[in-house]
Amino acid sequence: MNEAFLLPDYFNAKVDDFITLLLKYNQTHNITGAKTREAVSKNVEDSIYPLRFLHVKDFKEAIDVGSGAGFPGLFLALALPHVHFTLFEPIAKKSAFLHLAKTTLNICNVDISTNRVEKITPWSVDLIASRAVTNTKMLITLCKGFISPSSTLLFYKGEMVEEEIKGLEGAEIYQKGKRHYLVLKDIHVT
């Protein structure tokens, strides 16, 4: 982790409770392909890996676009209790699970919106996270109302990331295995 960052003491216990809840819920509702404790743990690790290189101290407000079963937004929220997260998940059964997880785990810094991000009246945020939703330029367009000059965009991408960022300035890419963590700052959208 980045030297100034430590996970809260409760993090691992809440992750363990989350995994149990997700695996039980997933048997009936099939909201994620992660079907084992190990697979869910890998998704959690993937979600919080960027905390090794992000400077999160000044973040206060964040959104996660297309949260699915909570990756990455729910785990970033658990790791960053000083940041308020809004998780956007338009699929009702996934959004219902996020509400259940928030209540069961007593996560106070999260709101869940059962909407597409582009259908909401935007507000400026410090962090925009998204994993496996759409290509980078389309994500920027969908989120443009949330982006301020000080916003950081964190997109969890695959091997096509280089192709997706052609023409974008100031992109930083961190890689772990096949995952590419794309960080964009100073984005100016019209």
Q: The domain that contains 84 carries what CATH number?
A: 3.40.50.150
The whole-number pLDDT of residue 1 equals 44
Give the mean pLDDT of 109-138: 94
User: Sorting pLDDT into bands at 50, 70 and 90, what band is 186?
Assistant: confident
Asked whether residue 15 is assigned to any structural domain, the reply reads no
pTM of the model: 0.94
Asked whether residue 141 is assigned to any structural domain, the reply reads yes
Q: Radius of gyration of the chain from Cα atoms? A: 16
Asked whether residue 12 is assigned to any structural domain, the reply reads no
Asked whether residue 131 is assigned to any structural domain, the reply reads yes
Q: Residue 64's closest CA among 82, 76, 46, 48?
A: 76
DSSP string, 27-66: HHH---S--SHHHHHHHHHHHHGGGGT---TT--EEEEES
Asked whether residue 8 is assigned to any structural domain, the reply reads no
Asked whether residue 77 is assigned to any structural domain, the reply reads yes
pLDDT digits over 101-116, tens only?
999 999 999 999 999 9
Asked whether residue 25 is assigned to any structural domain, the reply reads no
Whether the predicted pLDDT of 18 surpasses 70: yes
Number of domains observed in the structure of the chain: 1
Give the domain extent around 179.
46-185
Q: Which amino acid is at 179?
A: R
